[in-house]
Amino acid sequence: MKLGLKSLLLSVRNILLAGLLAMSSHAMAEPMDVEFVDMEGNTVMLSDFRGQWVVVNLWATWCPPCIKEMPDLTLFHEKHKDSKAIVLGVNYENIPIERINTFTEELMITFPVVRFKEIDLNANHTPFGPLRGLPSTYMVAPSGHIVAGRAGLVDGELLENFIAEFERRNP
């Protein structure tokens, strides 16, 4: 029975990876730039990270799947931040910054946490397109092009596999 479950989980992972890669064919013609504000009130631009993969992860403190994926996103960020990729966590709720800071400290989140500079959270629309749920993750290639996005959990292995496969297909 264990082998059957493992096989099923690998199939699900492959389907998720295939979905991300299928979306990568819809890359925008021009690199996109998005303006964020960090927890100290400083402006952060998506273009500040040009040259690296940026994993833009939209999340909320009340979202159980968001909380579940945070340790894996933190590990991915720590492994790649000085070379290939970073995680940029976008808090998608209207709560005091102190609550966000407490939340990120409790979960030992080390990746940058920001909010969109100007966005109507009630509109369910982001600079990356319609919000289909939380968590939502967008892959931004080193060129600045958004090459994939999905709602639902991601983990470090899925992100690494996506990057490797994207780079293999787009040398």
pLDDT for position 3: 52
Q: Which two tokens stand for residue 59?
A: 């999340």
Q: What is the mean pLDDT of each run of 10 residues along the chain (171 residues)?
A: 48 48 48 94 97 98 98 98 96 96 97 94 89 96 95 96 95 86
pLDDT for position 158: 96
The alpha carbons of the chain give a radius of gyration, in whole angstroms, of: 16
Query: What are the residue ranges spanned by the domains of the chain?
Result: 2-169
Q: Which residues pair with 171 in a beta bridge?
A: none
What superfamily does domain 2-169 belong to in CATH? Glutaredoxin (3.40.30.10)
pLDDT for position 29: 58
| Distance between CA atoms of residues 106 and 100, nearest Å | 10
CA 80-106-111 angle, to 5 degrees, is 20
pLDDT for position 156: 96
